[in-house]
Each structure stands twice: as C-alpha cells, then as structure tokens.
Amino acid sequence: MWKGIMLGYENHASAYRSLRLQDNPTKLHNPISPISSNPLNPQTESVRNVTDKNDSCSECEDEFHNAMEEIPQRRIRVIGPRHPNLITGDVSEENILPYQRRAHQTVESNTIPNNYQQAIKSKDSNKWEEEISKELDNMKKLKVWTIIDITPKDHPIPYTWVFKIKEDDEKRFHRMDVKSAFLNAPLNENICLAAPEGIDIPVTKALHLNKAIYSLKQAPLAWYNHLAKWLVSVGFVCALSDSCVFYTGGSYPIWIYVHVDDLAIFGPNIKSFKEEIQGKFNMKDLGKAKILYGIKILHNEASFSLLQEHYIKNIAENFGITNIAPTNTPLKPGLRLMKASEDEIELFQKLGLNYRSIIGALNYISTNTRSDITFAISHLSRFLEQPSLKHWLASVQVLRYLYHTKGKTLNYYNKGKCNIISYADADWGNSLINRRSVGGYTLFLNHHLISWRTKKQQTISHSTTKAKYKSLSDASKETLWFQQLLQETNLEVPDNIPTLYNDNKGAINLAHSNINHNGFKTKHMDIKFHFIRDLIKNQKLELFYVSTHLMAADFLTKAVGKTIFLRSKSFINLY
C-alpha cells in the first residue's frame, strides 16, 4: 500500500496519473480494464510505470478500440462489493443497482493497520503503541501467560495483533461490559503461544497460557464457565430453559442475560449488584440501553421499540444500494426459485459476486428484528453452495426492500394480560426441487412478537392437512419452551393455557383425535409429529381454528403479495 497525489486523467486511455509520494515516480493507473463484450472476463487492476507516453497510450488506445467494436447493444451492470462487470441479458432494470465505475482513492485517512509493523509506523503510531502497552500491562496484571522453554512436545500457536478503530458516538448501552473478559478465565488445557511482535523474548521460548485469550476457540466457554460459577456463588440460578439466563428471587429479583462479555441486567433495584460485580471484575457500566447487541432500543413511557436501521444502512452502502427504487415486498409474490444450471453457476462464479456474504448479513437482521424477510432469507439460503445471477438478483430485491423500510420498528407495549398465543402455518409442496413443504410459526406474548421461524419440512407431505399438522409440532414445542422459561425465571405467570391457532380444520381434527393415531392416514408419520396430541390431552395447550386472512404466520411460508404482507406486518407490530 502506498500514498499518492492524483494529477489528472489520461486522455487516450481509461486511466489516471498520480504522483507516488515515497519515491516520486509518476504512475499510470488503469483500474478499469478495456470494455469487453465477454461478461465472463473479470475486471482487473494494473499499475504501470510510464516510460514512454506515446507507446503506452497507443497500446491502450488500440486495446480500447478493439474492444469497443465488440460491445453488444444491450449492456447491464451487475453490482457487488468488487468491480462491476458488463453482462448481457434481459434482466428488469429495477433489479439493477446504479453502481458506477470509479477510480480508486489515492490518499487514505484513518487507515486501520493490518499488522504490528503497520501500526507502529503509521501516523497514529503513538496511539497504537499506547493501546498495545495497555493491553500487555493488563495481561501481565492478570497473569495470562508464563514464559517457558519450548520443548519437542510443545507446538506454539502463531499469534498476531488485530487492530480496530472504535467509532466515536454518544450511544449508551443497557448493559455492563467486562473489560478483557477472556483474560479473567482460567484454562484447563496445555496451550502455548508463539510470542507476537512487541513481546521481546528469545526464539527458544514461548508463552504458556494460564488464562484464556482472544481468538482462542476455548476462550468463550472458559469465560462463560468462570462467570457462571461466580454468579451461582452469589445467589443466582442458571435457567434450565436457557443457560444464558441467570436470575434471583426475593423482593427485588434480578435477571441477567449473558452474551459473551456483555451483560444485560434487568430488575427493580440493580444498583447493589452492579457494585458487587464491579468489585469482582473490571467492569464498564454503560447505563440505560440505547443499543443492545447491535439492536437499537427506543424507550417511551409505556413502550419500547427495536430496530436495526444503522446496520441495514451499512449493508446497503457496502453493496451499493443507496440510490435505487424501492420495492413493496422482499420477493416477488409467488416466487419459487430453482437450482442453477452448470453454465449459470460458472457464469456467476466468474462475476466475482459474494452471494454468501449478502445472505449472511441479511440473516442477522432477519433473526433479530425483521421477521418480514425471514421467508425470503430461508428460501435464498437453499442456494448458498451453487448460486447464480437469478439468486443474486432476488437477494438484491430483499436488500432494496429492507433499505427503504430501514426505519420500521418492532414495537412492544406495556398492556394486556400475560397470554401466550402462537400461529402455525405451512405451504404445501413449496419447493419445486423436492416438493417439500415449508412451515412457519409466530409466538406472541400479550400480542407482542417474541419468536418466529421458517423451516422447510424434512419429509414430503401427501396433503395440505399433513403439512400443516407437521407445522403444529414445531410451534407447540416453541410455545411450551417459552412458557417454561417464563415460569422458571418468574418473569411472568401466564393467565391462561397457551393457545395455538391454525387455519386448516383437517389438521386441527388430527391433533384432537386419538382414534386415528394408528390409522391408515397417519400411521406412517413420525411419532414426533403427534407430540401436540399429548399436550392437548394433558391441557397444556389449546388448539383453535383461525381463518386464513387472520393467520399471523402466513408470510413465513411463502412469498405473499402486498396486501397480505401489509396485513401481516400489522399483526406483528412492525411499523
């Protein structure tokens, strides 16, 4: 990497000139390869010393004109985190992102170092050296390692520094953050590290770890066990329903949710506990929540809302979707994609687009706050191994929809009785590849969305009734688990038996029937699908019919149209 000053554009080629600051030779940059009619040729970048202006320009000009003669009349830009390529086809322009070709930036600021040497030689070397010194002092204070002689039995693990610049902001978090959390956790295994740069020890010696350290695969579990042991010692109970939840009883109960080194603490009086845990660990109290685990929390007098607007915006910027027409739904209504052909797969691979990256980013949003894209992400995830352009364009539409609805919030209100209500639905034979059905469910507490899921069923169903009967099994298991969590942790005591709704009377009759358990119609079905019958018989769950237009899980089983989609968003309080 080097820095330079842009001088201007070359007149006879797709290039620009810059002055390299280190040694001052003039460089000619050509980040845009000559335009070609072949969409499979990836864009490349070349940097050439200018030795003979006439020869270089003449050569570029010849290549440029030769390529221009082969350009087809219709050209479509395909976007991605890399350079765009020109391809031919009849793709709707509303699915094509306006990603323009542009030169690389020649002078960078606030560059994050990739290694130790870059850090100590950068313009911010004083700051980096200060942080390195603090980290090493902290490790010595906590006795993270012991210097030992390397023996033939030792196999030191290579280790390096990872640098990151934290953005300045005024956000407050509803959590307590443990500083250098992993460094507090003892290790029970014999692990040695090769000393990274900045730690001066002889090459014949290594660092024997006494405590866990970042990036070590054993570190998260070691830290969790260390924290859990201490919490139990001061009176907390680890929930059987969720091992990340700890709680206490009494007049002033406290609930803690642990996520790696972040603690979300809830309770009517938590001041004394904060002081106690700060005495044990080096903690940072970040106050009342504004962001929790990447989710913004908006507080009102009698409600709060969740959104991930900042995360969606970052994804859209990374993939170049900030100036593009909106869409009303994540997928086109009724869309069911097929596997790509070998030619389509080969073409897409040469385009250099990262399909797995965009699906992974969208999936994080889907599982946290935006259930309205859950079916779309589930459907598109089936093609992660061998995607094609049609799958990429479908993912682009999801991101288009998400970007233009990034301000939508998932809302919760402090009202109503403690009732658990679930909806289960299925789309029979949804998959055109193997004809398996897709099931989905939503779970509500006091009409507030708590849990949701879309899942392709593992076996083929002979009818809509059987597909929807199978979906009742997944929904009932989630409902029972959530009820147990509430009762165990004393969060809420449901006023009534949990209620499950389905829009297929045949499936409801099967669930209520004991006569047909071994009958011809259901004897081939796995025993696990009859789990709901036992719940109904023992009065742990009630099952009722609901009309299709009131089915709050319909949007999780297929690509629905605008009308159904808007109605579904009102069901889940997504405004």
DSSP letters of 436-482? --EEEEEEEETTEEEEEEEEE-SS--SSHHHHHHHHHHHHHHHHHHH
Q: How far is CA 60 from CA 27, 33, 521, in A?
A: 15, 10, 73
Count of structural domains within the chain: 4
Looking at residue 165, its pLDDT comes to 65
Residue 452 lies in a domain: yes
122 with 253, same domain?
Answer: yes
- Of 371, 403, 435, the one marking the end of a domain is 403
Residue 421 lies in a domain: yes
Terminal CA-to-CA distance of the chain, rounded, Å?
Answer: 46
395 with 537, same domain?
Answer: no
- Of 403, 427, 448, the one marking the end of a domain is 403
424 with 363, same domain?
Answer: no
Return d(Cα 312, Cα 363) in angstroms, integer: 11
Which tokens is 101 given?
A: 């070709």
Looking at residue 50, its pLDDT comes to 38
Return d(Cα 312, Cα 478) in angstroms, integer: 28
132 with 251, same domain?
Answer: yes
Residue 102 lies in a domain: no
Return d(Cα 55, Cα 51) in angstroms, integer: 9
Looking at residue 110, its pLDDT comes to 52
355 in Cβ contact with 392 (< 8 Å): yes
Q: How many CB atoms lie within 10 A of CB 280?
A: 14
Residue 169 lies in a domain: yes
CA 11 to chain centroid = 45
542 with 427, same domain?
Answer: yes
CA torsion through residues 284, 287, 293, 296, sign = negative
Residuewise pLDDT in 10s, the chain (575 residues): 666 766 665 554 556 666 666 655 444 444 444 333 333 333 333 333 434 444 444 444 444 344 444 434 444 444 444 444 444 444 444 444 443 333 333 333 457 788 888 888 888 888 888 888 887 887 888 888 788 888 887 878 776 777 776 543 333 333 566 677 888 889 988 888 888 787 878 888 888 889 988 778 888 999 999 999 999 999 999 999 999 999 998 888 999 999 888 888 888 888 888 889 888 888 777 777 778 878 999 988 888 999 999 999 999 999 988 888 899 999 999 999 999 999 999 999 999 999 999 999 999 999 999 999 999 999 999 999 999 999 999 999 999 999 999 999 999 988 777 899 999 999 998 888 888 999 999 999 989 999 999 999 988 888 899 899 999 999 999 999 999 999 999 887 777 899 999 999 999 988 888 655 555 466 656 667 788 888 999 999 999 999 999 999 999 999 999 999 999 999 999 99
Residue 298 lies in a domain: no
Looking at residue 148, its pLDDT comes to 85
The answer for residues whose C-beta is within 8 angstroms of residue 538's C-beta and 6 or more apart is: none
486 with 428, same domain?
Answer: yes
159 with 274, same domain?
Answer: yes
CA torsion through residues 23, 24, 25, 31, sign = positive
3-state secondary structure at position 18 = strand
338 with 251, same domain?
Answer: no
478 with 534, same domain?
Answer: yes
Q: How far is CA 553 from CA 409, 441, 467, 548, in A?
A: 19, 5, 14, 10
The reply to whether the predicted model has a pTM over 0.85 is no
Instruction: Select from 240, 245, 297, 248 the least CA-distant residue to 273.
Output: 248
Which tokens is 243 given?
A: 């091992």
476 with 514, same domain?
Answer: yes
The phi and psi torsions of 371 (rounded to 5 degrees) equal -70, -15
Domain of residue 74, residue span: 4-95
179 with 63, same domain?
Answer: no
Return d(Cα 369, Cα 414) in angstroms, integer: 19
Residue with tokens 């789309």: 427
Residue 57 lies in a domain: yes
Residue 391 lies in a domain: yes
Return d(Cα 226, Cα 180) in angstroms, integer: 13
Looking at residue 456, its pLDDT comes to 93
Residue 111 lies in a domain: no
Nearest 5°: CA angle at 225, between 175 and 287?
A: 10
Looking at residue 341, its pLDDT comes to 94
424 with 351, same domain?
Answer: no
72 in Cβ contact with 37 (< 8 Å): yes
Looking at residue 291, its pLDDT comes to 82
Burial 467-476, CB ≥16 within 10 A → b, else e: bbbbbbbbbb
The answer for residues whose C-beta is within 8 angstroms of residue 564's C-beta and 6 or more apart is: 554, 555
- Of 375, 403, 431, the one marking the end of a domain is 403
